[in-house]
Amino acid sequence: DAGVIQSPRHEVTEMGQEVTLRCKPISGHDYLFWYRQTMMRGLELLIYFNNNVPIDDSGMPEDRFSAKMPNASFSTLKIQPSEPRDSAVYFCASSPFQGGGLTDTQYFGPGTRLTVL
Amino acid sequence: DAKTTQPTSMDCAEGRAANLPCNHSTISGNEYVYWYRQIHSQGPQYIIHGLKNNETNEMASLIITEDRKSSTLILPHATLRDTAVYYCIVRPKNSGNTPLVFGKGTRLSVIA
């Protein structure tokens, strides 16, 4: 399995531009998570999906951020308009559902390093 | 709020065992202890988890004290590639695939 795939790996854009980050989860995983990592705040959750449905988006900073999961193999995180404070590494992770009292393991992608000038 | 306390940084000589402590004094009976690590410029990687018994896999061992208020992750023979930030995370037993809450972790430097 190729693991979680994210694109692009690096993105440099100017303030005010629209940015779209993409994620392909591991096949068969029911859950998809978007995290953001900055020096100041560390790793923090933005939003997560179960079977393509958003479950918790309380971590999304503001209306400039939106995330979609149109099918089980693809998700996007969009920032419009982007601002310098959005500069961070954005990680996507997926996990399989594990019932029967077993807990899950999350598999992370390599991340997208976003720089907003 | 993270429910764990870890040292900010540690050093370990290559080939020696690395012992990374974690304090989770408020852990409840239905919470697991998870360990993830993040190598520079990569996404976090799952290492191991446990409830109350000691656990071992191909990557590491996890020792949980009898009162479950602390644990130690052991890398038996550390290599330079084990240099990373190690996160200790407490999660409910039946978490239902809930998100991970990361603290600051321990930055482990393995030295040749």
Tell me which chain A residue has its CA closest to the CA of residue B102.
Answer: A43
The predicted model gives A13-20 an average pLDDT of 97
The answer to whether the CB atoms of A43 and B94 lie below 8 A apart is no
Question: Is A7 touching B (CB cutoff 8 A)?
Answer: no
Strand runs (DSSP E) across A3-111, as ranges?
Answer: 5-7, 10-13, 19-24, 31-38, 42-50, 53-56, 65-71, 74-79, 88-95, 107-108
What's the whole-number mean pLDDT along residues B92-102? 80
For B42, name the nearest residue in chain A, comparing CA atoms only: A110
Please write the tens of the pLDDT for every residue from A84-109. 999 999 999 999 887 655 557 899 99
Q: Taking CB atoms and an 8 Å limit, are B93 and A95 in contact across chains?
A: no
Which residues on chain B are in Cβ contact (under 8 Å) with A101? 93-94
Q: Both tokens of residue A93?
A: 């992770």
pLDDT above 90 covers a percentage of chain A that reads 85
Read off the pLDDT of residues B67-91 as tens digits, 9 standing for 90 and up: 999 999 999 999 999 999 999 999 8
- Confirm or reject contact between A100 and chain B (CB < 8 A): no
B45/A108 CB distance under 8 A? yes
Minimum CA–CA partner of A90 in chain B: B43
Amino acid residing at B99: P
Phi-psi region of B97 (alpha: psi -120 to 50; beta: other; left: phi over 0): left
B95: tokens are 């978490």
With cut-offs at 50, 70 and 90, classify the pLDDT of residue B98.
confident
The Cα–Cα gap between A10 and B32 comes to 35
Pick left, alpha or beta for residue A2 (phi over 0 → left; psi -120 to 50 → alpha; otherwise beta). Answer: alpha
Q: Pairing between strand B106-111 and B9-13?
A: parallel
